[in-house]
Amino acid sequence: MSGLVIDAARCVGCRRCEKACATAGIVVEGRLAHATEGCVLCGACVDACPVGAIHIERGSAADEGDLAAWSGIWVFAEQDAGQVLPVAFELLGKARELAAARGCTVTAVLGQGCGGPVDGALTLAACADRVILAQDERLAERDASVYAPWIAQLAEEMRPEIILYGATPFGRELAPGVAVRLRTGLTADCTVLEIDPETGLLQQTRPAFGGNLMATIECPAHRPQMATVRPGVFAAMARTRSQLRAEDMPRQLVRGLLARMEAAKVDPRLEPQVAVVEKRRADEGASIAEAPVLVVAGRGIGSKKNLALVRRLAELLGGEVGCTRPLVEMGWLEYRHQVGQTGVSVAPKLLVALGVSGAIQHLAGIGGAQTVVAVNEDADAPLMGAAAYAVQADCVAFARELIARLEARAG
C-alpha cells in the first residue's frame, strides 16, 4: 500500500506541512500531523518538514524487484462497426517510437465478436510486432464490464510495461477500469509521450490546472504504465490511414501477418453487464479530427458573417472548418468545430489559422498538424511563432484574396 507516513516521535507540530499542502491532504491536530483523504502523495509536505518526520511509502502491485519482468508496449485497438479506429494507428506510430527508445516490442490488442472481420487485425499486424486477438461474442459490444477484466487479466499474465488507449468515450471508460484492477496509475489525455533516457520510465505530459501549465507525470512503482491520448494528437503511421483489405493483399503477405497473431480467451465466468437494445448513429457531420485540411477561424475574423469566407476557403481547399473556443461560446459555430484542449485534437496535413492567437489550450489540440499557416495582424501572437508559415496580414482580406485565386485557378 502507498501512503504518507508520519513519525510521531519526530513531528513537532510546526504546521509547515499543512501550509505546503495544496490539497488539504495533511492537517496538524494536537501538535501531531496526520494525513487526510485529500492526500495525493505529491511530496510537498515531505520537502517542507524541517525535522524529516514525513516520508512516503510507495507500495506496488508489481513490487520493486519485479518491475523488470514487465516489458513491451501494448496499444488497445478499438473497433467500431468492424473498422479499427484511426486513433489505434496513431498510437501504434507513437508506440513504435517509444519501443525504439526502450528496445522492446509493440503489441496491438483487439477484441471482436465471433467471426469478426479479419482486415482490421491484418492492418494492425502490419504496424505491430504482434496482435493479441480475442474473438468472443461478449466482446462484440464495447462493454467495459467485459473488456476491462479481460485486458487486466491479459496484462497480469503477459506483463506489458506500457498500455496506451485512445481517449474516445469508450477508451475513457475502459482504461480506468483496467487501472483499478491492476492497481496502477493512468494519465488521461496526454499530448506528449516520451521515454526518459535515464530511468526508462514513460513520461506522460498533459495540460494541467486549466491548461496553464504542462505536467509531466511518471508512474515509477507500478506496472503497467498507462495513458490515454485523444484522437488526432499523434500522426498515424503513413500506410495505415485506412484499413488494409485481405483480398487486395498477396497471399504470402497475409500469411506473414497472420503469423503475428496470437489468439486470446476471455474468462468464461465473465458476464456482460450491458445489453444493447438499439443503436442510433448521431448525425454529427464530418469530423474535424480526421480532416486532411482544416481552416480554423479565431476571434480575429471579426464577425459571424465572415464565417462564409472561412467555409468557402475550406471547401476550395477540400477541408473542414474548425474554430477556437470563443467562437463556440459566442454561438457562431457548434462545439464539434472547436479545436483544442477542451475541443477536438486535430492532425490535418494543412491547417490554415485565420485570426487565431494560439493560446496554450488551443495549441494543445493542433500538435498533430503537419503544416500550419497562421494569418494574424500581430507578428508576436504565439501561433505565429509555432507556424511553418506566418503571414502578418488582415485575415479577412487574406481569405478573400486566396479564395479569388483558388476560384480563378479552378476556372
Ligand X SMILES: Cc1cc2nc3c(=O)[nH]c(=O)nc-3n(C[C@H](O)[C@H](O)[C@H](O)COP(=O)(O)OP(=O)(O)OC[C@H]3O[C@@H](n4cnc5c(N)ncnc54)[C@H](O)[C@@H]3O)c2cc1C
- Vertex 237 angle, CA 134 and 68, to 5°: 60
Q: Does 378 bind ligand X (CB under 6 A)?
A: yes
Q: Can you tell me the distance from the alpha carbon of 80 to that of 76, in angstroms, rounded to the nearest whole number? A: 13
Part in contact with ligand X (CB under 6 A); list of ranges 67-75, 141-149, 164-172, 336-344: 336-344
Q: Does 341 bind ligand X (CB under 6 A)?
A: yes
Roughly how many angstroms between the first and final C-alpha of the chain, as a whole number? Answer: 71
Least separation, in Å, of the C-beta of 375 and ligand X? 6
Part in contact with ligand X (CB under 6 A); list of ranges 44-52, 74-82, 267-275, 372-380: 372-380
**Of 25 and 358, which has the nearer Cβ to ligand X?**
358
Part in contact with ligand X (CB under 6 A); list of ranges 4-12, 166-174, 257-265, 375-383: 375-383
Least separation, in Å, of the C-beta of 346 and ligand X? 11
Residues in a beta bridge with 34: 27
Q: Does 163 bind ligand X (CB under 6 A)?
A: no
Q: Does 18 bind ligand X (CB under 6 A)?
A: no
Least separation, in Å, of the C-beta of 350 and ligand X? 18
Residues 6 or more apart in contact with residue 147 via CB below 8 angstroms = 111, 139, 174, 177
Q: Does 112 bind ligand X (CB under 6 A)?
A: no
Q: Does 395 bind ligand X (CB under 6 A)?
A: yes
Q: Can you tell me the distance from the alpha carbon of 351 to that of 103, in angstroms, rounded to the nearest whole number? A: 34
Q: Does 357 bind ligand X (CB under 6 A)?
A: yes
Assess contact for 74 and 155: CB atoms under 8 A.
Answer: yes
Q: Does 204 bind ligand X (CB under 6 A)?
A: no
Q: Does 211 bind ligand X (CB under 6 A)?
A: yes
Among 355, 368, 390, 402, binds ligand X (CB under 6 A): 355
Q: Does 381 bind ligand X (CB under 6 A)?
A: yes
Omega of the bond leading into 250 within 30 degrees of 0 (cis): no
Among 222, 223, 230, 362, binds ligand X (CB under 6 A): 362
Eight-state DSSP code of residue 344? B
Site for ligand X in 283-312 (CB under 6 A): 298-300, 302
71: burial class by Cβ within 10 Å (0-12, 13-18, 19+)? middle
Q: Which SS3 state, helix, strand or coil, does residue 403 take?
A: helix
- Vertex 381 angle, CA 380 and 387, to 5°: 100
Q: How many residues bind ligand X (CB under 6 A)?
A: 30
- The set of cell numbers assigned to 239 is 500506410
* Residues present in the chain in total: 411
**Of 6 and 396, which has the nearer Cβ to ligand X?**
396
Q: Does 313 bind ligand X (CB under 6 A)?
A: no
- The set of cell numbers assigned to 3 is 501512503
- The set of cell numbers assigned to 279 is 443503436
Note the residues at the interface with ligand X (CB under 6 A): 210-211, 298-300, 302, 324-326, 338-343, 355-357, 359, 361-362, 365, 375-378, 381, 394-396
